[in-house]
Amino acid sequence: MTIKLRPLFFVLALIAGVHQAAAQGTRFFRISGPAATTIAAFLPDGTMVWSNALPGTNYTVQTVTSLCGGTNWVDYVQLPVTTGVNTNLIFAFTPPAGMALIPAGVFTMGDTLDGDTSAMPTKATVSAFYMDVNLVSYSQWQTVYAYATSHGYGFDNAGSGKAANYPVLTVDWYDCVKWCNARSEMEGRTAAYYTDAAQAAVYRTGHVDVQKGWVRWNAGYRLPTEAEWEKAARGGLTGDRFPWGNTIDWSHANYIADPALYLYDINPDTGYDPTFSEGASPVGYFAPNGYGLHDMAGNVWEWCWDWYGSYPAGSVTDPQGPGSGPGRVYRGGSWADLAWSCRVAKRNCDNPPTLGSSGLGFRSVLPPGQP
């Protein structure tokens, strides 16, 4: 493996990190791969232009927060290349408020670490998107909910939460989808979900099992696909069990500890995290992953777009799941779950009207290039 870096690239990477301090902190970047490459430019929008790549191979952009020592480089995104000169958006100087850029790239969805046959690995290439840094909070939910219910939207549940800065709870899949539409319209964006293939009627009321062709995938806010969620949760890491590495304890996530049951659970005590009184923790309480996202493991489960089904064989690009299934997917584990459920590869599903008691919430994504 050879690496070639231009000093100018480090200077520009530092500038990018300053702009992203609130979400991701100061960062430096480098490229590693099967041949030396040259960084031609790092543009003001966070786009990296680089050359001398070998077509048909993968390169890995790595990141570090300090050059002191220079030994803690971690994977940030894997880039499949088809030409010698490439242009990739890898960082966002000015992302939408409360969101972080998840750069386009390829990753391994699922793993073989723990014998979970529901998540056998497949290669997935996912386009760039923005994701909420935090779970949708109760106060954020209430703001959009108030707008929605005065603009023709109907919800089955008003939602609940321990406090304003805690995740919203007792919301079903249908309500989350409608809420995303309302958030888009409240901000003057085009809604993503419709009730027909012509995409003429915005989904605002009732239980509609929205089909793939009824979604404007490059429009407003929506739930992440399962592939988007897992790529974001991994934070650029490759082959790890959790968003930060391979072991878990209460310093990383809000979950039920049982170190006698799972060797990768290294918490010194057993049971619920006593800090949160057997319930959810505030959004953003724990340190973010490599993409600046909080609570991608534990706290509350997160609704995704997909119907549950087997992963497709071979390599896939922007998969949207099967056309039907036993339930809609949710991911991430919760405060009321063991370490097994907090693994990045863990999958779960339920009927779309399910509320999930006090352990099921969501966050939204937004395609890039939105005003």
The per-residue pLDDT for range 79-111, each reduced to its tens digit, is 999 999 999 999 888 899 999 999 999 999 999
The whole-number average pLDDT for the span 42-64 is 91
pLDDT at 314: 86
With contact defined as beta carbons under 8 Å apart, do 193 and 175 qualify?
A: no
Which letter does DSSP use for residue 265 in this model? Answer: B
In DSSP notation, 132-195 reads: ESSPPBHHHHHHHHHHHHTTT---S---B-SSTTSBPBS--HHHHHHHHHHHHHHTTPPPSBBS
With contact defined as beta carbons under 8 Å apart, do 79 and 59 qualify?
A: yes
Q: Which residue has the higher pLDDT, 331 or 71?
A: 331
pLDDT at 70: 60
pLDDT at 357: 67
**Could you read off the pLDDT of 352-370 as tens digits, one per residue?**
998 866 789 999 999 997 6
Tokens 């991608």, residue? 296
Domain assignments of the chain as residue spans, ordered by start: 7-94, 115-371
271 beta partners: 257
371: confidence class by pLDDT, cuts 50, 70, 90: low
pLDDT at 116: 92
Is pLDDT above 60 for 219?
yes
CATH of domain 115-371: 3.90.1580.10
Q: State how far the Cα of 135 lies from the Cα of 125, in Å rounded to an integer.
A: 24
**pTM for this predicted structure:** 0.92
The whole-chain average pLDDT of the chain stands at 90
Strand stretches in 268-312, DSSP E: 301-307
The whole-number average pLDDT for the span 230-253 is 97
SS3 sequence, 194-255?
A: ECCCCCCCECCCCCCCCCHHHECCCCCCECCCHHHHHHHHHCCCCCCCCCCCCCECCCCCCC
Q: Which two tokens stand for residue 36?
A: 């030396």
Is pLDDT above 80 for 301?
yes
Give one word for 318, left, alpha or beta, with left for phi > 0 and alpha for psi -120 to 50.
left
Q: State how far the Cα of 128 lies from the Cα of 126, in Å rounded to an integer.
A: 7
Q: CA distances (Å), 357 to each of 164, 361, 362, in order?
A: 18, 10, 14
The whole-number average pLDDT for the span 56-64 is 92
Q: State how far the Cα of 240 lies from the Cα of 227, in Å rounded to an integer.
A: 16
With contact defined as beta carbons under 8 Å apart, do 68 and 52 qualify?
A: no
Length, in residues, of the chain: 371
